[in-house]
Amino acid sequence: MEAGMTAVDTAPTAVRIRHLLQLADSPLILGQQLGAYVGSAPILEEEMACANLGLDLLGHATMLLEYAAYLTNNSSDSDAQVTADTLAFTRDARAMYNLLLCERPNSDFAHVMVRHLFYSTWSLLLWTGLSESSDERLAAIAAKAVKEMCYHCSHSAGWVIRLGDGTAESHARTQAAIDELLPYVGEMFLDDARDSQLNELGTAPLPSSLADEWESAVRQTVQQATLAMPALNGNVYMHSGGTEGVHSERLGFILAEMQYLQRSYPGLTW
């Protein structure tokens, strides 16, 4: 029931669908994790906040998956009809393209907030770039997401500062979170042939083009939090593979919980 939107982008449909799935899977998995965190947050207000952070992300994933489904169903080489739901709930780990960062566990509140600071800063920069996309529908989704991610950055940065510049316990836990999660940041800024193709067509910014601004912004927060963060281009080993469908063990457990109902009762609706 979408008002007609024509995409002027000329990338092959398969490339566009693959790109949309990759854009959708990170907020989908992170949204699922934030939902799973409800019941474990340190205070009631953060229970609600994390649920709403997750809700925003699920909204982004939904719009992107609906677009991917639309392209799939309208392409000449498709037999079965897919929906946003089938894309979210029946793809196995090898066909999911989320960042590894989004799979990292909800170890403690410091981890949840540092993960969110890292993710939302990247996401804000990415959505800003995508709001200039030559693909009109993608640009429209991005224009909305940009406004929402501003508040995600505000919320997570605020907590990282309070936790870092807090008690000895919160400071130690937040520093540990930064040290453990930083190796998953490099993946955000990797370019591949598809990224170059989409960038040339004006569909999406190059992932690597977001790195400098990300580092400046996050470093500012980290410093204000009296915490330390090594340079991205330093000697930090960076994990990768998530965007190619090669995931950690964690995703298996996340999907088992997220997809259980649809896999047990395919096509169930209520």
Partner 1 sequence: MVSEVDTIWGLLRHIADPEIPTISIVDLGIVRSVAIEPRDGVDTVRVVLTPTYSGCPATELITQMVTDALAQRYGNATVEISLSPAWTSDWITKFGRECLAQSAIAPPAATAAVANRHPTMSVLATLSADPATGEDSRPEKCPRCGSGEAHLISQFGSTACKALWMCDTCHEPFDYFKPH
Report the interface residues with partner 1, using CB under 8 A. 1-3, 5, 45-46, 48-50, 52-53, 55-60, 62-63, 121, 124-125, 128, 131, 136-137, 139-141, 143-148, 150-151, 153-155, 157-158, 161-162, 213, 216-217, 220-221, 224
Q: How far is the CB of 70 from partner 1 (least distance, A)?
A: 12
What CA–CA distance (Å, rounded) separates 13 from 3? 20
Q: How far is the CB of 133 from partner 1 (least distance, A)?
A: 12
Residue 49 or 238 having the CB closest to partner 1: 49
Written as one letter, the residue type at 30 is L
Residue 95 or 261 having the CB closest to partner 1: 261
Q: How far is the CB of 48 from partner 1 (least distance, A)?
A: 6
Q: How far is the CB of 24 from partner 1 (least distance, A)?
A: 12
Token output for 112: 């949840």
CA torsion sign for 251, 102, 189, 129 is positive
The beta strand positions in 6-95, using DSSP E, are none
Residue 64 or 99 having the CB closest to partner 1: 64
- Three-state secondary structure string covering 101-163: HHHCCCCCHHHHHHHHHHHHHHHHHHHHHHCCCCCHHHHHHHHHHHHHHHHHHHHHHHHHHHH
Q: How far is the CB of 105 from partner 1 (least distance, A)?
A: 21
Residue 72 or 221 having the CB closest to partner 1: 221
Q: How far is the CB of 125 from partner 1 (least distance, A)?
A: 6
CA dist list (Å): 68 to 2, 71, 144, 237, 267: 13, 5, 18, 33, 19
Residue 161 or 182 having the CB closest to partner 1: 161
Which of 107, 117, 134, 137 has its CA nearest to residue 33?
107
Which residue in this structure is represented by tokens 């453990």?
Answer: 180
Q: Is 24 within 8 Å of 68 (Cβ atoms)?
A: yes
What CA–CA distance (Å, rounded) separates 89 from 95? 11
Q: How far is the CB of 155 from partner 1 (least distance, A)?
A: 4
Residue 1 or 80 having the CB closest to partner 1: 1
Residue 62 or 203 having the CB closest to partner 1: 62
Which of 231, 223, 229 has its CA nearest to residue 161?
223
